[in-house]
Amino acid sequence: MQKDQGTGRVEQFSDGVFAIAITLLVLQIKLPSQAAVEQRGLAHLLATLWPSYLAIITSFVTILMIWVKHHWMFTLIQKSDHAFLYWNGLLLFFITFLPFPTALLAEYLLHPEAKVAANLYTGTVFAISLSFKGLWWHATKDKRLLAVHANSATKIEAKQITKLDQYVPLFYFVVFGVSFLFGGVSVALCLFLALFFAYREWLTNR
């Protein structure tokens, strides 16, 4: 593959994976059974599904935040090479995996073993943040995949992203650690971090 090939199809394939992963989340919510509805009422049962709602909202916001960042990165990246496709593939693997820990969390958030579900969930999000860092590192090392004559605006913006995201994997590593102590808190932190990163990017790009 010649290095000067564009990135259109990588974006297209990635967008497909992001879009499907984000849309499959809702399939993880279990429909209340007719038998249970007879006993406890539909409204009550829908309310007790709140761990499902929390889990899919956290995953939705996390994936959306990654997609927005992916989208921003690709406005700067002009080329693609094989190693880049594999880094992107690694990121997409963890993205497609996320619906499983999400479903696990929805089922076991109120269970005595909630910590185990939270370990897997926060561990997956940590893995997403690491592979994202690897992707960006590969793309920007020696300005490898930026435009050949990247103007200084592009370079400054690339440095800005690098700086903004410097500690993201560290944050998620801490959250992963927290999940061994407090399962529910670690999930809430995931949601908080995703919203915080979104807010910070909005501030930066106003």
Residues between 100 and 119 that touch a copy of itself (CB under 8 A):
100, 103-104, 107-108, 111, 113, 116-117
Q: Please select the residue that binds a copy of itself; options are 22, 139, 175, 193, rule is CB under 8 A.
A: 22
**Amino acid in the structure at residue 82:** H
Residue 16, number of CB atoms within 10 A of its CB: 11
Q: Shortest Cβ distance from residue 170 to a copy of itself (Å)?
A: 24
Q: Could you tell me which of 132, 139, 130 has the C-alpha nearest to residue 157?
A: 139
Asked if residue 74 binds a copy of itself (CB under 8 A), the reply is yes
Torsion-angle region of 80 (φ positive above 0: left; ψ -120 to 50: alpha; else: beta): beta
Q: Is 153 in the site for a copy of itself (CB under 8 A)?
A: yes
Q: Closer to a copy of itself at the Cβ: 61 or 189?
A: 61
- Of 3 and 170, nearer to a copy of itself (C-beta) is 3
**Closest alpha carbon to 114 in 188, 27, 36, 193:** 188
Q: Which residues contact 27 (CB under 8 A, 6 or more apart)?
A: 99
Q: Is 39 in the site for a copy of itself (CB under 8 A)?
A: no
Under 8 Å CB-to-CB from 47, ≥6 apart: which residues? none
**To which residue do tokens 């500690």 refer?**
167
Helix, strand, coil shares, percent, the chain, to 5: 80, 0, 20
User: Segment contacting a copy of itself (CB under 8 A): 92-100, 141-149, 162-170, 173-181?
Assistant: 92-100
Residues that bind a copy of itself (CB under 8 A): 1-2, 5, 9-13, 15-27, 29, 31, 34, 37, 41-43, 46, 57, 60, 64, 67-68, 71-72, 74-75, 81-83, 85-86, 89, 92-93, 96-97, 99-100, 103-104, 107-108, 111, 113, 116-117, 120, 153, 157, 198, 201-202, 205-206
